[in-house]
Chains A and B, each alone.
Chain A
Amino acid sequence: MAQQTDQPRTDRWNTPEMQAYRREVREATFTKEGMMVAFPTCFPGMTTAIVPDESRITSLDVTPAGVVFGGTSGYRAHLFAAGFHGIMGIVFDLGIVEDATECVAVCCGKTHFAAFVNGPGGGRAIQAPLVRMDSDLIQEWGFQRPTLKDLGQCAAGEPVVHAVADPQSNLIVGTTTKHVFRLSLTTGRIQIVGEAPAGGKLARASARGIVGRDSERTLWHFDVRTSTFRRGALQLPEGEWKQPLSWARDTQSGVLYTADGAGQLYSFDERTGFSRPLGQVPVAPVGPMAVTLDGRVFGFCGEEMARLFCLEPERKKVTPLGGAASVIERRRYGYVFGDAVTGRDGEIIFGENDNGGHLWLYFPSIQAKQAGV
């Protein structure tokens, strides 16, 4: 084994290249831009957090008012509501879903939300009212756990894979391993609308269509307005498409973003189809991502120890932003993330899919003013 003596090492390790490497490691390893804050699954100082191996956050949704609803996976599945604005600052554990070890989707409607959970008996839908969180959590508060209503299996014996809401119609569209179904949050009724082999998450596109994986090269499409389900409706662009899909939706334009197995990012507009590749993330696969109000896409990529990235679609530019680390409120590294939503003010909220999972609030950096603008 070759080893160095002290003197040449001193010189060798102080070259500009080595200094640059040290600087790169120091500055680029964690949250290179913006601010990450890991928030525990509790009312800090007042309640205990969800048990660590029951707190792997795997699904999130958000109401227009910015209240986040989510579900966990692990030894048991919990549902929760969270608020971070005004005088909230809480993750409220809504309760344990009996006989469930995985929550694959949470979808908010007008007055209720539905969670889709899996357990030994298959996949079920659970409905509960949207909880109000209007107490002054600095002064005094009152809470009540809502009743979690079991709406039953979505397709007999089949685990649910994912679901998304169309808030306008108070309708949810979901998939099991073999079927596509719809759930009316108004009636609580579940209906199978077609067959399709599932492959990852669904998304609500720009013209109120719901899309999901149909085959290696195609997507199915469900039109919420007409309840029309079409298999093989859309062709995926050239790329590696063997992995489950993940999506992010620009709430301003309805444009979707997804990635292939190699980490190439694409946008999808229901009217114009898929874009050409917009950029490639540093490590595949692409995990949860969400779009902030100025159109930038933030997400995690890579397994085991995910890396944050930023896609600027108009510039077709991907910037690696390092791993997640929180030093405000909680000192914690973030490694694995299960879902992401865009918060009220454009902050990105990631659900940490790990023991002791936290909600990670990412506040993107404010862009410098362009010269001459």
Chain B
Amino acid sequence: MKNAMTIHRRDFLKSSILSAAALPLAPQSASAGKAADQPYTCRFYPFTDHPNADTCWSLSVGPDGRIYASACAEGSPGGTVKLMRYNEHADKLDCLFDLADKVDDPGDSGRATQCKIHYSFAPSMSDGLMYMATHLSGPPIDLPTYSPWYSWHDPKRCFRGAALVAYDTRKEAIVWWDTLIPKEGCRCLAFDEDRGMLYALGYPRDHFITYDVKTRRRRDIGRIGSINGQAIFLDKKHRAYTTSDYGHLVRYTPEKDRLEWSPEPLPHDRRNQTGWHSVFYDVVASPDRECVYASTWIPQTRLMRIWPNEAEWPRVEDLGPVTQERDLSFPQSMFVDHCGGLTFAADGKLYYVASRWRDARYNPLPPDHEEREGMVCRLDPGTLKREEVTLLKHPVGTAQYVSRGAVDHHGDLFFGYINHRGKPAGIFKVTMPADRKKENAHLPIRVWG
């Protein structure tokens, strides 16, 4: 792997308009930035039409340029997911429907429920469809917890299967639905519109699934490992990429109809990690589609840039860590140390949300900071300089864990966020500075969740 990290974390801090001179992080780093020129404003939109919702595992721009979000209810026995859409005219979220009702698998079925859409929105531009697939984890209505392993052979309790829904954003109607993966949830989804193929990862067995939307035919290509990659991306040759347990790229080439594993693991912290669990968390394509930027689902994730069109296996650049230094002898919580919400905006810059937390030794934030914070960062792909542009501010909870981000057709940023204890659940809108917006900013559209 080529290490192109010319911007060290400390350089990042120095280069930021918000930064302090050195560690520990400056007490006013974020607010000082906002005070500098107030370019970005942040607002939280709760899922008021779904009070049981506790998480937003997926947020995406639709083929219509509007923002769709999954109001998930995985913590409530019998809880189900509802589809939300940001109403730019009323400046609020509209609740479109309850997925469970639409796929005839209601929350009181006694089975594990259709409780969420994980990283599984996939828009189709030619016909205005928004594909979405459901995931599991919510317990049956009369049980306190659900384990897909424990209940696999229990026909009364086992999850019926990931429901695939084709929602027509023009007609505002579901045109068809199907079971994408029997008994399993869909961890992430991607759509190759040219070929009409959906690609998915099943949970918990971590199988790679293909689905032809024309014939509605599903194929199980085989197991990858034990830990789902949280994203599948596509390259120009219609190849689908995800990751293995040990941080290797896993590629499905339709012409070969075979999964292949890359020889080298993705960048990780070699001081204390082996590559294990360096599975994709979030992946976004550059606007020219020549490369993708990715974060991994591991503490001290590194930002990386992957060039899939260049060689037999993609060239991978390690762009360095995105979160703070920490005690390597401590198994850092994955709910605290996190990076997600990768998206490109109209200014051609990469935006993402990286967590920051109070740490007595490495980051003794002053009292006016939250224990955990979600920094909205902006990276210049040309110079690799990063800056923190704003903080996500939840009304009662913390907002360090962002699942996905997207830019709508007007060029504003939206982020889905996770914090079970921080009800209400909802999404953030970050209004971009006027000179960093444009119409149809969501194009070329992201085709994976």
Chain A residues within CB distance 8 Å of chain B: 1-4, 9, 13, 18, 21-22, 24-25, 28-30, 51-53, 75, 282-283, 302, 304-305, 307, 323, 331-333, 335, 354-356
Contact = CB atoms under 8 A, between A and B. Distances in A.
Nearest to A75: B258
Contacts of A53: 222, 258-259
Contacts of B141: 2
B223 interface: yes
B3 interface: no
A297 to B, nearest CB: 20
Given A304-B152, A305-B153, A307-B153, A1 B261 contact: no
B96 interface: no
A21 B77 contact: no
Given A3-B78, A356-B224, 20 more contacts: A1-B78, A1-B98, A2-B141, A3-B76, A25-B145, A28-B150, A29-B147, A29-B149, A51-B261, A52-B222, A304-B183, A304-B205, A323-B149, A331-B226, A332-B225, A333-B226, A335-B223, A354-B223, A355-B224, A356-B244
Given A18-B144, A355-B223, A305 B259 contact: no
A351 to B, nearest CB: 15
> Most chain-B CB neighbours within 10 Å: which of A9, A13, A75, A355?
A355
Interface stretch (B36-44, B85-93, B99-107, B233-241): B99-107
Contacts of B106: 1
Contact of A1 (B100, B149, B244, B259): B100
Given A28-B150, A304-B152, A323-B149, A1 B258 contact: no
26 contacts: A1-B80, A1-B98, A1-B108, A2-B141, A3-B52, A3-B107, A4-B77, A4-B78, A9-B77, A13-B77, A18-B144, A21-B144, A22-B144, A25-B145, A25-B150, A29-B147, A29-B149, A29-B150, A53-B222, A304-B152, A331-B226, A335-B205, A354-B223, A355-B224, A356-B224, A356-B225
A25 B144 CA distance: 10
A226 B48 CA distance: 82
Contacts of B52: 3
Main SS of the interface on chain A?
A: loop
A331 B245 CA distance: 9
B226 A25 contact: no
A333 B150 contact: no
Interface residues of B, number: 35
A164 B310 CA distance: 50
B276 interface: yes
Contacts, number: 83
Interface of B: 52, 76-80, 98, 100-101, 106-108, 141, 143-145, 147, 149-150, 152-153, 183, 204-205, 222-226, 244-245, 258-259, 261, 276
Given A3-B78, A355-B223, A283 B144 contact: no
A305 B207 CA distance: 12
Main SS of the interface on chain B?
A: loop
Given A9-B76, A52-B259, A355-B222, A333 B144 contact: no
Contacts of A29: 147, 149-150
A30 B226 CA distance: 14
B149 A305 contact: yes
Nearest to A19: B144
Given A13-B77, A28-B150, A52-B261, A2 B222 contact: no
A304 B204 CA distance: 11
A4 B244 CA distance: 39
A48 to B, nearest CB: 8
B107 A1 contact: yes
Contacts of A52: 222-224, 259, 261
A337 to B, nearest CB: 13
